[in-house]
Amino acid sequence: MNPKQGQQNSQDSPQTRNAVRMNDIHHVIAVLSGKGGVGKSLVSSLLAVALRQQRHQVGILDADITGPSIPKMFFPHTARPTSEPRGMLPVESRTGIKVMSINLLLEQEDQAVIWRGPLIGKAIQQFWEEVLWGRLDYLIVDLPPGTSDASLTVMQSLSLSGAVLVTAPPALAGMVVKKAAQMAVQLPVPILGLVENMSYFVCPDTGKKYEIFGPSHAEETASAMHVPFLGRLPIDPQIAALCDAGRIEDYPAEAFGPIAKALVDSAPMARPPAPRRAS
């Protein structure tokens, strides 16, 4: 599969049948938010890293087709997937996390993907059906922001165990993430919990915490939605430097360890996709 072949119908192709038959994925967790800029891809990456540190077999499906950022975080140099007769092989990171993203197929990482909704949905389905993920304990699906076609495709076509919501301290972010929560409930997809990103900054000189974006509303947001509150992540310049260098796996991720453990304890096994609803 490549971007130019996205419109081809591969539903009944031997490649699709072989890849699906070979895969053994136990838990599929979607990470979503109501708006962009809250750190959804960062949470997806740190979750994968924390799960891998706990010795789980982990993969990441980058479903943000028009704004992919996962490969940049994991690979300091250009990486390309390879193909075999049974399907496409994802690229493995330094610690063994399997990654598939549209950016791994583009000639240049800054090349724009200018596709309409149906073509984006088809690409996501191909990443699920035609990629040889093999045996995974957890497949993390990084969704684009909002509640449009791409998110619908994931929630209606993939065997999701549940979804993790990502928000930020401002009340506006909390208001918008509730829209994503309503989408999950209506489809229906279990909501495994809420993570707040950019909650605070720890001054390196004094160790004092500063709530740069104002007081947190995450716990009250989670309570209003009747979902577990999984924890807060700080603003850490080290994260930005490691992401830019393709070395997110070098981040200690102590703050994410308890969040990953909570998901391990609560995430159900992957289930069949929900019946499609008429648009």
Q: Quick: pLDDT tens for 167-177.
A: 999 888 888 89
* CATH code, 3-264: 3.40.50.300
What percent of the chain is predicted at pLDDT more than 90? 63
Q: Is pLDDT at 278 greater than 50 in this prediction?
A: no
Chain centre to alpha carbon of residue 154: 11
pLDDT of residue 276: 54
How many whole angstroms separate alpha carbon 158 and alpha carbon 150? 12
The DSSP bridge partners found for residue 65 are: none
149: pLDDT confidence band, cut at 50, 70 and 90?
confident
What is the reported pLDDT for 5? 47
Strands 87-89 and 191-196, sheet pairing: unpaired
Quote the CA–CA distance of 110 and 112 in Å, as a whole number.
Answer: 6
**Beta-bridge partners for 210:** 201
Place of tokens 């001054």: 203
What integer pLDDT is reported at residue 3 of this predicted model?
A: 46
Determine contact, residues 123/6, Cβ cutoff 8 Å: yes
Check whether 71 has a pLDDT greater than 70.
yes
Partner residues linked to 32 by β-bridges: 165
- Note the pLDDT of residue 13: 55
Q: What is the pTM of this model?
A: 0.89
pLDDT range class, residue 7, cuts 50, 70, 90:
very low
Task: Please count the CA atoms within 13 angstroms of the CA of 235 that sit on its side-chain side.
Answer: 17
The whole-number average pLDDT for the span 189-211 is: 94
Q: pLDDT confidence of 10, banded at 50, 70, 90?
A: very low
pLDDT, tens digit, for every residue of 20-49?
778 999 999 999 998 888 999 999 999 999
Tell me the three state secondary structure of residue 249. helix
Q: Give the containing element (helix H, strand E) for 263.
A: helix 257-266
User: What mean pLDDT, rounded, does the chain reach?
Assistant: 88
For range 143-168, the mean pLDDT: 89
Q: Residues of the chain with pLDDT > 70: what percent?
A: 90
